[in-house]
Amino acid sequence: MSTEVKVPTLGESVTEATIGEWLKQPGEPVAMDEPIASLETDKVAVEVPSPVAGVMGQQVVAVGETVNVGAVIATIEAGDGKATAPTPAPAAKEAAAPTPAAPTAPAPVEDSGDGVTTLSPAVRRLVLEHGVDPTRIKGSGKDGRLTKEDVLAAANAAPEAAPVPAAAPAPTPAANGAPGRREERVKMTRMRQTIAKRLKSAQETAAMLTTFNDVDMSAVIATRDKYRESFEKKHGVRLGFMSFFTKAVALAAHDIPSVNGRIDGDEIVYYDYLDVSIAVSAPNGLVVPIVRNAESLSFAGIEKAIADLGKRAKEGTLTMDDMTGGTFTISNGGVFGGLMSTPIINPPQSAVLGLHRIEDRPVVRDGEIVIRPMMYLALSYDHRLVDGREAVTFLKTIKEAIEDPTRLLIDL
């Protein structure tokens, strides 16, 4: 007897997804509610749990195929995993027999005896580029799966003169005589396709303009250094810069509400709350989960929310609700070393604040040249809704609040 596994409801307005990865192979035992597949939607990766306990049966669709909500993607057979179930990929079994070494690294990697874990295309590419052995890397992703960060960390920790496996043949020179020239064509993930469409749509729809300012980070750095240990001891979370900027955005949005609004047809929607989309790095790319009601949260509340979202983004456990909505976005390119940028609006929002790296620069204070830790701020906004004067005032308010954090406490 077999039980069908169907694509679950994925969230409001989401009707289809792409098979990103099979987490269980035919013949493997499956517990009830154990994830058997990962689906890539427009916003997040969603795991499909098994409705019953048994043995993984047929995989109806292949990795990379698009499926609709309610479609059958697999079957679960009755049993305890000892019986042989139908398998669409016998080559994986044949690979276990003693055969000559393959010329390239295999896509599946044997996992501590529990079966075969399939590397994602991005992870497989990094494994090949850096020549690391994936079986020797401890995965930090869901269920111990490898992420890009795991591979890069292993590559950086490996000895510089790590020898290339002797079984790997030398690359065949190209026709023009240049050795090692190769290219790889990889299908874009559904999330990457959606990001591309939304960002291009934002450029074509919104009248985008970016205004800049710089901010002296001395006061915030001194405050954080002074209260770092006591803050973490009391609240169980580190005091970072994002909470200062989130509170500053809430302060500025109170005076300039259009920056925290959106255009809906021929109407303007203003919000009396601030749901901040925080851009964080995830294994599948950049995602923007949301800190809800940021205007009413304390510094500790904001830091805890950001830490939780960042952790779940790395683990790939963000939900559709975590990604839906948002009235304003903060993007911190400074963590990657960016000096300045013109961030793109996250539609239907009307503005995004870009933060950048902090570096010591000479500035004039009281007629003297001094060295201060400075950061460039960039506010991209929709000029259809936000006037230039409002955008400049909004950014200036943030600058003043960061340079004098007391303003954040007395609402000035």
CA 213 to chain centre: 27
Task: Inform me whether the pLDDT recorded for 120 exceeds 60.
Answer: yes
Confidence label for 119 from pLDDT (cuts 50, 70 and 90): low
What is the model's pLDDT at position 162? 43
Beta strands in 253-334 (DSSP E): 261-264, 267-270, 276-278, 280-282, 285-287, 290-291, 328-332
Q: Which residues contact residue 308 at a Cβ distance below 8 angstroms, ignoring those fewer than 6 apart? A: none
Q: Model pTM?
A: 0.64
Same domain, 383 and 260: yes
55: nearest Cα among 75, 33, 35:
75
Same domain, 85 and 200: no
Confidence label for 325 from pLDDT (cuts 50, 70 and 90): confident
Same domain, 79 and 203: no
| 383: annotated active-site residue | yes
Q: Which of 89, 104, 119 is the last residue of a domain?
A: 89
Question: Any idea what the CATH number is for the domain that residue 345 is in?
Answer: 3.30.559.10
pLDDT tens per residue across span 169-192: 555 555 555 667 889 888 777 777
Q: Which residues pair with 108 in a beta bridge?
A: 118
Task: Inform me whether the pLDDT recorded for 2 exceeds 60.
Answer: yes
What is the model's pLDDT at position 202? 83
H-state helical runs in 13-138: 91-94, 121-130
pLDDT tens per residue across span 338-351: 899 999 998 889 99
Contact 73, 5 (CB under 8 A): yes
Rounded to an integer, what distance in angstroms lies between the CA atom of residue 375 and that of residue 390?
A: 21
- Domain annotation covers residue 302: yes
Same domain, 200 and 80: no
- Domain annotation covers residue 105: no
Map residue 215 onto helix, strand or coil: strand
Q: Which of 61, 89, 117 is the last residue of a domain?
A: 89
Q: Which residues pair with 362 in a beta bridge?
A: 371
Annotated catalytic residue, options 130, 387, 404, 411: 387
Task: Inform me whether the pLDDT recorded for 81 exceeds 60.
Answer: no
Q: Which of 34, 56, 89 is the last residue of a domain?
A: 89
Same domain, 240 and 375: yes
Rounded to an integer, what distance in angstroms lies between the CA atom of residue 387 and that of residue 173?
A: 58
| 254: annotated active-site residue | no
Same domain, 61 and 200: no
H-state helical runs in 23-110: 91-94
What is the model's pLDDT at position 86? 45
Domain tally, the chain: 2
Contact 41, 28 (CB under 8 A): no
Same domain, 239 and 355: yes
pLDDT tens per residue across span 41-80: 766 677 888 888 889 988 888 888 888 888 898 998 887 6
Contact 89, 73 (CB under 8 A): no
Rounded to an integer, what distance in angstroms lies between the CA atom of residue 55 and that of residue 27?
A: 6
pLDDT tens per residue across span 283-317: 666 778 999 999 999 999 999 999 999 888 888 78
17: nearest Cα among 191, 212, 269, 217:
191
Question: Any idea what the CATH number is for the domain that residue 18 is in?
Answer: 2.40.50.100
- Domain annotation covers residue 310: yes
Map residue 176 onto helix, strand or coil: coil
- Domain annotation covers residue 138: no
- Domain annotation covers residue 286: yes
Q: Average model confidence (pLDDT) for the chain?
A: 81
Contact 279, 291 (CB under 8 A): no
Rounded to an integer, what distance in angstroms lies between the CA atom of residue 275 and that of residue 292?
A: 5
The more confidently predicted of residues 25 and 100 is: 25
Annotated catalytic residue, options 114, 255, 321, 383: 383
Task: Inform me whether the pLDDT recorded for 18 exceeds 70.
Answer: yes
Parent domain of 402: 194-410
Contact 148, 123 (CB under 8 A): yes
pLDDT tens per residue across span 33-43: 888 888 877 66
